[in-house]
Amino acid sequence: MIALTLIALTLTGAPPAQQQNPFLPPRASLHYSPDRTCDLQHLEVDLDVDYPNKTIVGTSTNTLSPLRSGITEVLLHAGSDLTISRVTLDGKNVRFRRDGNDLLITTGLLKKGTPVKIAISYTGKDAKGRPFGAGGGWHWIQPTPANQSPTRVGFWTQGETNYNSQWAPTWDYPNDFTTSETRTTVPAEWDVVGNGVLVSTKTSADKKKKTYTWRMTQPHATYLLSLVGGPFDIKKDKWEGVDLWYVVPRGEGIYIDDSFGHTKDMLSFFSNRVGVKYPWPKYAQNAMYDFGGGMENVSATTLGEGSLTEARAGYFNMDSLNSHELGHQWFGDLVSCYNWGDTWLNESFATYMDAMYFQHSRGEVSYQYEIDGNMRGYFGEASRYKRPLSTKMYPNGDAMFDSHSYPKGGAILHTLRQYLGDEAFFEGLKQYLTKWRHTPVESAQLRRAMTEASGINVEPFWAQWIEKPGHPVLDYTWSFTAGDGLALTVKQLQDTSDGTPIYDIPATVDFISSGGIRVSQPVHLTKAEETFKWQLTTKPAAVVFDPEHRFLRQIPNLHWTEAELPVIARFASNAPDRAEALRRLLEKSTEASIALAVELFSKDMGRDPVFQNVTPLGNLAKPELRSFWTAQLESENFARRAAAVQALGKLPQEATTTARLRSLVNDKAPIQVVVNAINALAAWDAKANADLFTAAVNIKDRRGQIKRAAEAALAKAK
């Protein structure tokens, strides 16, 4: 139904921006999950890794049960870079042919329900510099001009969306689950980490090679199969009987605790919150060279080595990435999307699990910023194109990994949680994960679980938020007249010509007094324009629509008056609203707005502040604020302290401040604080501080920021 609507819109003339929509024809087409000849029951992969020649020699053995009678040919997938030398059926050679990545195997008549074993022998070779498995599949780690370390060697695999068949011929689509086992032979000094449990390691007779056998006895999608190999630093631990592996390139073990220190807390929080314990026997987090972001391979997440961090860089800077990928172990691994058109069932949930973890570990303000960031992250893409969250109309599976599946979907899950309430929302997630564990699913199965858990038919919610494109674009104004009270007019301005609906939304509005008393009133949006009235005897000092940001919405023009701004900055219930009100006040930088900013910032000294950006105040370069900025150096928030140093650097040089900034150039202070202090001192008097810069060249940090700043300051001194 949705696909037909999209086609009609294209033919009848969509808006120019939407004519470029990659999710409309001709760029997009209908994608249904492919037909299967067999049920893949078990996958065994034997690999011999020849690193000097960048070659793998392997055998992929697929245990398959025919799904119907009359099958004489089995379809599997094999990357075009693989040279297949032999295919056997239960040990006997059989004919095969190839059509792109399709491997069609002549089997003779198979009996429904009687398993067979198809073994495929192959070689993968990196020929003439062409990267074998570039972008997905198999990746060789090699030294670079910037890093010639002998430990910068090894490999990793990347399966999503359909790239694992580039190194292990099998059924490569998420509509079938299998158990798996890998046996990987590598140089003896290497480690290999795979899915499930390490069954054995065996060293060759000549001590030059070692074979690692990993086994996963629980069914999973084949795109989640993973291997990483190389010289590693590995730290092992346990959480409630689950083995934990922290894996980084050799020499980088010093970053493990600062990078992965909250893993146990995440495991406990997620297990308790969704009501399903972490479902796998092991969890490995593998930080690999050349890898970007993270990939939630079942029980063995792959992460980018560049994301590793240290305590002085910030408060557990990898928490967002780590919680996202760990969240996938439930949403995307335990239960996976049946079709890439339902990628949101994987990525939206992982995005929202990240936000929920911040709510748990950092508080409500951090959660509010996470949701606000999700909304803003999606709006940028929505200005270029809009599509339903769940759709079978797409150009290819990889295209589904956009800002609709990630931040928009995360914001919609927040919307659903607010709509149902915590009890029903989390009971729905528990039922969904429990009923469909180890199963590929479609969006409707989550909808059914939510309805059954809450007693609320969420089909209308699905219809407008999940199955149609777009989002509410709102405008609201209010007026107060003595005797008549307050009137609030709300308009839905979204373009509905592309299938975006006029939304039905239960919402609220806050009336805020000058003393900070908030009175919340319900409003229910159902039309393009509506006016709501209240018989109030006293005019509120400010009116804020959807004060808690309970649903995905865009409000391009906030008609907050000059009189409302200080009230909203002080008393609004949502941190991004308070910060926006103060930002607007500081645009005019009056004495009153500066005084208010100083007051609010001085009360906001925690690790996760309401007011995250203090730079506009620092840019005013007011000497009378010197003591204020000096006090801000005691903030728990590293970014606030760094901004305070930057603000002090904009003021005229003064002996006490110089001494204070010099004291911050050490190997204990936050890295950005040290860098900013060096820059400020260099701007004031580089020659007088050259001794400090000379010493600072030897202060180590992971990315060399301090050394670079010190060297630049020394160059200025000379």
- What is the length of the chain? 718
Instruction: Please give the average per-residue pLDDT across 174-194, as a whole number.
Output: 98
Averaged pLDDT, 14-27: 75
pLDDT score, position 134: 64
pLDDT at 19: 53
439: preceding bond cis by omega (within 30 degrees)? no
Dmax (CA) for the chain in angstroms is 96
Q: How confident is the model at residue 129 (pLDDT cuts 50, 70, 90)?
A: very low
415 has pLDDT over 70 = yes
Residue 132 has pLDDT above 70, yes or no: no
**Per-residue pLDDT, 20:** 84
Which two structure tokens, joined as six digits, stand for 113?
């329900």
Arithmetic mean of pLDDT, 521-536? 98
Least confident of 146-155, 227-236, 300-309, 639-648: 146-155
pLDDT score, position 718: 85
Minimal CA–CA distance to 281: which of 320, 235, 247, 329?
329
Q: How far is 251 from 74, CA to CA, in rounded Å?
A: 47
User: Would you state the pLDDT for residue 3?
Assistant: 32
Amino acid 539: pLDDT: 97
pLDDT > 90? residue 519: yes
The pLDDT value given to residue 168: 98
Q: Tell me: the pLDDT tens digits for 477-514?
A: 999 999 899 999 999 999 999 999 999 999 999 999 99
The pair of structure tokens assigned to 520 is 């919340």
- The answer to whether the beta carbons of residues 490 and 476 sit under 8 Å apart is yes
pLDDT tens-digit map of 259-271: 999 999 999 999 9
Res 127: pLDDT:
53
- Are 141 and 156 spatial neighbours (Cβ–Cβ below 8 Å)? yes
pLDDT tens profile 342-396: 999 999 999 999 999 999 999 999 999 999 999 999 999 999 999 999 999 999 9
Please state, for a pLDDT cut of 90, what percent of the chain lies above it. Answer: 95
Q: pLDDT digits over 677-710, tens only?
A: 999 999 999 999 999 999 999 999 999 999 999 9
CA–CA separation, 199 vs 552, rounded Å? 47
The answer to whether residues 393 and 6 touch, using CB atoms and an 8 Å cutoff, is: yes
Pure H helices in 527-649: 564-571, 575-586, 591-602, 615-618, 626-632, 638-649
Q: What is the pLDDT of residue 121?
A: 98
Q: What is the value of pTM for the model shown?
A: 0.95
237: β partners: 244
Tell whether the model's pLDDT for residue 14 goes beyond 70.
no
pLDDT at 136: 87
Residues 6+ apart with CB under 8 A from 36: 67, 75, 171, 175, 176
Q: What does pLDDT average to over the chain? A: 95
pLDDT band at 12 (very low <50, low <70, confident <90, very high): very low
